[in-house]
Amino acid sequence: MSALITTAVFLLLALWAMAVYGRLLRLRRVVTSRWRAVGQARKRRDDPGNPANSTNGAQADVPDAGALERARLHYNLVATKYNAAIARVPGSILAGLAGFKRAELLEAEPASGAGSPSA
């Protein structure tokens, strides 16, 4: 009877560990996805063909003028959630064993003169 209880306990612990590991993987995928979105927004911002980068003052007419800032804020939100998950027990134990690394937060970039109208 005690072997059955021991087996059940180990089985429950294994299922629990798999659930925690799966959650960490999902969070890491979201962080990676948001990181790519920041890169794409940065690439659009730096694209000379983008109307937002013209110097004729038409930036206010472009709907995604703040896309980079929104992408950065969303990345920081999910990165903070991911960092908290790998810092809390039990996630910290599994994160350490599986090699999960902390995600760095992005700071706001200084405004560049590329999209601002010249006076």
Model pLDDT, residue 44: 86
Residue 7 has a pLDDT of 96
Sequence-separated contacts (24+) of 1-10 with Cβ below 8 Å: none
Tell me the pLDDT tens digit for each residue of 53-71. Answer: 555 555 544 556 688 899 9
How far, in Å, CA of 28 to CA of 106, rounded? 16
AA identity, residue 31: V
